[in-house]
Amino acid sequence: MVSGTGVGVVETRRAVVFSGDRPLTLASGASLPEVEVAYETYGELNADRSNAVFICHALSGDAHAAGIHQGDDPNRPGWWDNIIGPGRPLDTDRLFVICANVLGGCKGTTGPASTDPATGKPYGLRFPLIQVRDLVEVHRALLRELGVERLLAAVGGSLGGMQALQWSIDYPEEVDGAAIIAASARLTAQNIAFSAVAREAIMRDPDFAGGDYYGKERRPDPGLALARMIGHITYLSEESMREKFGRRIQDAEVPRFGFDVDFQVESYLHYQGQSFVERFDANTYLYMGRVMDYFDPFEDPVYVQSQISRGETSFLVLSFDSDWRFSTEHARVMASELRGAGGTVTFQEISSPHGHDSFLFADPPEYHRTVTSFIDRLAGQRGIGSRGDA
């Protein structure tokens, strides 16, 4: 389904959305005196400001969803480039697409590595615990800065899908449609267990220093790399790992029979861990994992029903049959909860070999076709021209 030349060269911008006498009050009651957000936009906002789509990224994502930055490798575009651009499911010839780094992030939005105005030092673990609701509030504030009052759609996979879901429940009058992909409304004990082990890997690293490793010679890179390796295993399916690696030996014909890296899958995981520490912050990994652990938007069904009845949000809930991290059962429960609350829901399970990471791929074609149809239907309801009319 990917076609065209994409969105080309893009720039990450920043906006201060809370400051001074307007701090951010978090769902916990804690507050942040200043919040800055890193974001990118693709396409143009139309005259009646009705064509805005917000991309909510996953745990390790950031604002750079599409295109390339000046000087970057053109073969390494933004993390969801295959879905954003002319002729793609989020067609920038007629849509205004926004993606922003989340609160607590480490790629330009206020988070644990940011300076605490009260101390002049990085927050570290003094950064307050946050919830998905807080991510939504920060991005709503960004939309106000951009002059957008209502979204055509909020779209996200994994943690991004959780944010799209929470946004549509808390502010149904602001979201025409929510595309919730490879996500969960309530983590299982198994999922929380994976998060716990990853968290321990980071916090037990001797260089973690209670979260105050900023500016020091050593960081908890081994712990973060191990946490990433653990997480990455859960993002892949057995089929995809078998096809990619099987039991093949790395750089040899026969096993070396030792404890160093011997199998290709081991080498791959080490590469994933090392490349991750070069672009991500250990404290942010802790905070984002905890955000997902505590997420439970249907905890108060009376509230959910009253909220959904206030708007006319349409929901697309997508799962992938090889995703064992957030299996189709998670999606079925989510769809059932939304329908029970009066929501209009389209649910579909898509066959894919890629596991949880399926939402990042352009194949199978059915995936992009389903997203395209959902967005086109919303656009038609808002009187936004058909594909090719822009």
Cis amide linkage into residue 220, ω under 30° from 0 = no
Cα–Cα–Cα angle for 152, 157, 114, rounded to 5 degrees:
95
Which of 62, 170, 221, 323 does the annotation list as catalytic?
Answer: 323
Which of 158, 195, 327, 358 does the annotation list as catalytic?
Answer: 158
Please return the burial class of 126, using the count of CB atoms within 10 Å of its CB with bins 0-12, 13-18 and 19+: middle
User: Which residues are within 8 A (CB) of 332 and not within 5 positions of it... i.e. 6 or more apart?
Assistant: 319, 347
In the annotation, is 69 catalytic?
no
**Which pair of tokens denotes residue 260?**
């160093």
Please give the Cα distance from 48 to 166 (Å, whole number). Answer: 25
Which of 221, 356, 357, 368 does the annotation list as catalytic?
Answer: 356
| Residue 56 β-bridge partners | 156
In the annotation, is 323 catalytic?
yes
C-alpha distance from residue 351 to each of 94, 290, 295, 306 (Å): 29, 30, 27, 34
- Nearest to 163, CA basis, from 140, 192, 145, 197: 140
Decide: 149 and 282 in contact? Cβ < 8 Å.
no
Residues annotated as catalytic (active site), given as ranges: 158, 323, 356
